[in-house]
DNA sequence: GCCTTTGGTTACAACGATGTAGAGTTAATC
DNA sequence: GATTAACTCTACATCGTTGTAACCAAAGGC
């Protein structure tokens, strides 16, 4: 049915291997021969059979990307970035969702998909430090996100630094009573903990006291939980003039509640989020946030993984992406956009 | 490096083909032989090499799913459903985003990914009817969504019927002045047009007049555009007691504005959305909506595609999924949840 | 008791590409 | 002008599976 190299070879009057050489850009081919082969390829509409090449080369040309949920905006956009980065490097991405459940995260490490991919980009949310040794897999892997350490390549965002910068951004705007939304009490290594650390660091640097009443917990980082947390803060009568939300969904929920309660943003309270998801560009007022360097994270992660796949055995690396404060309406200095 | 059937065969003292037979569940094997092979497989930790099988069988075991954007919640959840449906049937999904751009939708039909997949589930948003003939591809394909017709398998939701039912649901609740949000003026075949048709049908059946002032346009179906459209309706001073939003994002944006303006939902205005995205379960008040049968759409689409891949040549089919009204707080009958 | 059927297994040739080794040419070196 | 090096191309084996055909043994039919 399909056209094979054999057909092309016959038509061009050369051996199969020569066709292969042309297709693969082998340099020592007479221009005349190359042209004949190329013509035959064009005339027959030949397309390389990737499966056969992969079998022969012992690779699949695909990498896996295991992440919590596509319906979480940050991960949908991360997937987008990874797919683009992979495409630019000639590999294909196979997506897998773990639902942020410990069990399914462990399964992803050993799923049938692993036979189809040359390596894995893994973004765990639920795995605990005790499970570090489960990450000692026998295939190339690069971790994304803040969880887990151990001797594995790891690409992460500058959670502490970026949270600190976001909080300082509010300080510079004149905020003195800055709340934070999204804390996970007791957490030792997740983003919530790291971003809380950054928040505290900024307060300390600015000479502001740390007030536990200004810390609002939120288990899941959704709009709804952000709204609930903000409601609790307001209901408790806590004085505040700034909010650092640990992600944009929380921030959007908080914005909603502030608006409802008649609190003017940014005049009365300035708000900054984290992640720079697409929705932050459509809110009212426009949400200030932190761009954690998603593109860079995706590109770097794919690069590291491809190096491992190519056989690199250098010591495990840890890359921290550059972040950037995205100043929008929700924390304009001394103004009210309404 | 990796364990092959050859290794297993040697260890079990049988031929490679016998191992293959065991792995593939061929029935005529002596129990004793089967056990020996199975033991060898377990002891060696053998896993089938899918690439080799695919090469031999002339298939890749993968299907493509081309959709507009993962960051649009409906599509993220559709992708999720399709991936599950595919997994249940033993195939793997390769995702591709088209950005809802005509050019990229056309490219998807001819992308290098097509060599890697046995067939394509295609959900176009931007292609126009004139391009119907571009959909006459030489590989198995099933269309998703309402766009395009022509002789191709097609799985779609009951847009008109479901929009009609949603509107009638508001009528039953006592609404007499029902607005709709999300219209695309001039559209002839998209969801906006179909859902508007359903809305009008319901009004007619209920003996209610159609009032163009109650129709709010919204180009992109985002929260922000829903909020803007709702704002325009309220600012225009249009009397209304119900809102049928053409999708949940629009509805959530509308809810937000209503809340802000001090309009009680559902007491003063009842609201219903469309899609039953996850966020609808977390809004305040909880959003009533239409479950368009996403799971069924995904399952059916994968089934149809696999039939085509298996060689079926029956006439192109058109399947319309069952929908279901999901009644939540935002349109409770004669009550106010606040 | 010979002939056919069914069961259980195997050898061998594919699937469509690429790596290796080497055969012929032509060009460069001394 | 003989020796070596660089080009250009081909034959063949190979990647890990599965389909085909065929074998031998045991079972059933008449």
Vertex B124 angle, CA A248 and B96, to 5° = 60
Extract the residue ranges of chain B whose pLDDT is less than 70. 1, 148, 333-338
What tokens appear for A203 in the block? 């307060």
What string of H, E and C letters represents the secondary structure of B106-169?
A: HHHCCCHHHHCCCEEEECCCCCCHHHHHHHCCCCCEEEECCCCCCCCEEEEECHHHHHHHHHHH
CATH (residue range B59-156+294-317): 3.40.50.2300
Looking at residue B335, what DSSP letter applies? -
Per the model's pLDDT, the better-predicted residue between B56 and A282 turns out to be B56
The pLDDT > 70 percentage for chain A reads: 98
For residue B3, the chain A residues in CB contact (below 8 A) are none
The pLDDT > 90 percentage for chain A reads: 71
Per-residue model confidence (pLDDT) at position B105: 94
Task: Please determine whether the domains at A59-156+294-317 and A159-292+325-331 fall in the same fold group of CATH.
Answer: yes
* 3-state SS class at B86: helix
pLDDT of residue A13 exceeding 60, the answer is: yes
Distance from CA of residue B296 to its chain's centroid?
9
CB contact under 8 A, A92 and B113: yes
Cβ B92 to strand D below 7 Å: no
Cβ B16 to strand D below 7 Å: yes
Element (H, E) at B271: strand B270-272
Q: Which residues pair with B92 in a beta bridge?
A: B62
Return the number of CB contacts < 8 Å for A and B. 89
Report d(CA B195, CA B188) in Å as an integer. Answer: 11
Report d(CA A5, CA A9) in Å as an integer. Answer: 6
| Phi, psi (degrees; rounded to nearest 5) at A80 | -55, -50
Query: What's the rounded mean pLDDT across residues A276-297?
Result: 91
| Phi, psi (degrees; rounded to nearest 5) at B139 | -130, 165
Instruction: Say if residues B322 and B153 touch (Cβ distance below 8 Å).
Output: no
Residue B260 distance to chain A (closest CA, Å): 5
Per-residue model confidence (pLDDT) at position B338: 46
Per-residue model confidence (pLDDT) at position A334: 55
CB contact under 8 A, A113 and B92: yes
Residue range B162-180, pLDDT digits in tens = 999 999 999 999 999 999 9
Residue A55 distance to chain B (closest CA, Å): 6
Report d(CA A163, CA A169) in Å as an integer. Answer: 10
What tokens appear for A136 in the block? 């000692």
In 3D space, the residue among A51, A70, A149 whose CA is nearest the CA of residue B277 turns out to be A70
In 3D space, the residue among B167, B57, B197, B159 whose CA is nearest the CA of residue B118 turns out to be B57
Q: For domain A5-45, which CATH number applies: 2.40.50.180, 1.10.260.40, 3.10.580.10, 3.30.70.580? A: 1.10.260.40
Say which nucleotide is closest to residue B18, CA to C1' distance: C9
How many angstroms is C1' of C12 away from CA of B11? 21
Per-residue model confidence (pLDDT) at position B113: 85
Per-residue model confidence (pLDDT) at position A90: 82
Q: List the alpha helices (DSSP H) in chain A.
A: 5-12, 16-23, 31-44, 50-57, 73-88, 102-108, 159-172, 191-206, 223-235, 248-260, 294-309
In 3D space, the residue among A36, A30, A98 whose CA is nearest the CA of residue A64 turns out to be A98
Q: Is A115 on the interface with B (CB under 8 A)?
A: yes
Instruction: Say if residues B128 and B146 touch (Cβ distance below 8 Å).
Output: no
Whether the full predicted model's pTM is greater than 0.75, yes or no, is yes
Q: Is A4 on the interface with B (CB under 8 A)?
A: no
Cβ A236 to strand D below 7 Å: no
Instruction: Say if residues A141 and A122 touch (Cβ distance below 8 Å).
Output: yes
* Closest chain A CA to residue B249: A279
Per-residue model confidence (pLDDT) at position A336: 45
pLDDT of residue A322 exceeding 70, the answer is: yes
For residue A93, the chain B residues in CB contact (below 8 A) are 95
Say which nucleotide is closest to residue B21, CA to C1' distance: D18
CB contact under 8 A, A71 and B55: no
Q: Which residues pair with A90 in a beta bridge?
A: none
Sign of CA dihedral A88, A280, B256, B218: negative
Tally of CB atoms within 10 A around B138 = 6
Report d(CA A295, CA A156) in Å as an integer. Answer: 12
Instruction: Say if residues B223 and B249 touch (Cβ distance below 8 Å).
Output: yes
Instruction: Say if residues A221 and A246 touch (Cβ distance below 8 Å).
Output: yes
Question: What confidence category does residue A338 fall into, taking pLDDT thresholds of 50, 70 and 90?
Answer: very low
pLDDT of residue A254 exceeding 50, the answer is: yes
In our burial notation (b when 16+ CB lie closer than 10 A, e otherwise), range B66-85 reads bbbbbbbbbbbbbbbbbbbb
- Domain B159-292+325-331 superfamily per CATH: Response regulator (3.40.50.2300)
Residue A70 distance to chain B (closest CA, Å): 6
Question: What confidence category does residue A24 fall into, taking pLDDT thresholds of 50, 70 and 90?
Answer: very high
Question: What confidence category does residue A205 fall into, taking pLDDT thresholds of 50, 70 and 90?
Answer: very high
Task: Give the count of alpha carbons within 13 A of A277, CB side only.
Answer: 25
Report d(CA B328, CA A23) in Å as an integer. Answer: 59
In 3D space, the residue among A123, A132, A62 whose CA is nearest the CA of residue A97 turns out to be A123
What tokens appear for A330 in the block? 């929700």
Give which of B1, B49, B51, B257 to mutate to test A binding, by max A Cβ within 10 Å.
B51
Q: Which residues pair with A216 in a beta bridge?
A: A181
How many angstroms is C1' of C8 away from CA of B14? 12
* 3-state SS class at A333: coil
- CB proximity under 8 Å: B 244-263 to A: 256, 259-260
For residue A224, the chain B residues in CB contact (below 8 A) are 279, 282-284
Cβ A116 to strand D below 7 Å: no
Burial class (CB in 10 A: 0-12, 13-18, 19+), A109: buried
Instruction: Say if residues B291 and B276 touch (Cβ distance below 8 Å).
Output: yes
Domain range summary for chain A, segments of one domain joined by +: 5-45, 59-156+294-317, 159-292+325-331
Q: What is the dihedral of CA B254, B260, B262, B265, to 10 degrees?
A: 40
Q: List the alpha helices (DSSP H) in chain B.
A: 5-12, 16-23, 31-44, 50-57, 73-88, 102-108, 159-172, 191-206, 223-235, 248-260, 294-309
Per-residue model confidence (pLDDT) at position B102: 92
């Amino acid at each position: 049915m399909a056209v094979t190299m054999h057909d092309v070879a016959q038509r061009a009057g050369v051996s199969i291997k020569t066709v292969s050489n042309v297709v693969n850009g082998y340099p020592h081919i007479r221009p005349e021969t190359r042209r004949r082969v190329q013509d035959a390829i064009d005339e027959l509409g030949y397309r390389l059979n990737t499966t056969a090449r992969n079998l022969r080369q012992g690779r699949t040309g695909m990498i896996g990307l295991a992440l919590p949920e596509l319906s979480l905006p940050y991960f949908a956009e991360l997937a987008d970035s990874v797919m683009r980065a992979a495409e630019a490097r000639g590999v294909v991405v196979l997506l897998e969702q773990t639902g942020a459940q410990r069990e399914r995260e462990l399964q992803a490490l050993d799923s049938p998909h692993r036979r189809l991919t040359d390596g894995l980009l893994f973004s765990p949310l639920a795995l605990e430090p005790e499970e570090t040794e489960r990450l000692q897999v026998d295939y190339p892997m690069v971790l994304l996100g803040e969880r887990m350490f151990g001797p594995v390549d790891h690409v992460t965002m500058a959670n502490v630094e970026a949270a600190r910068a976001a909080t300082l951004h509010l300080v510079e705007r004149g905020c003195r009573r800055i709340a934070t939304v999204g804390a996970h009490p007791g957490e030792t290594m997740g983003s919530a903990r790291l971003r809380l650390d950054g928040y505290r660091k900024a307060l300390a640097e600015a000479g502001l006291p740390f007030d536990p009443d200004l810390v609002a917990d939120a288990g899941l980082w959704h709009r709804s939980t952000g709204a609930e947390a903000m409601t609790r803060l307001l209901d408790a009568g806590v004085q505040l003039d700034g909010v650092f939300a640990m992600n944009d969904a929380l921030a959007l929920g908080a914005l909603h509640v502030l608006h409802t309660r008649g609190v003017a943003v940014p005049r009365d309270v300035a708000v900054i989020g984290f992640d720079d998801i697409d929705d932050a560009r459509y809110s009212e007022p426009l949400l200030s946030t932190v761009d954690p360097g998603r593109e860079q994270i995706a590109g770097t992660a794919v690069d590291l993984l491809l190096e491992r796949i190519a056989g690199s055995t250098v010591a495990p690396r840890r890359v921290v992406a550059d972040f950037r404060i995205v100043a929008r309406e929700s924390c304009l200095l001394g103004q009210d956009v309404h």
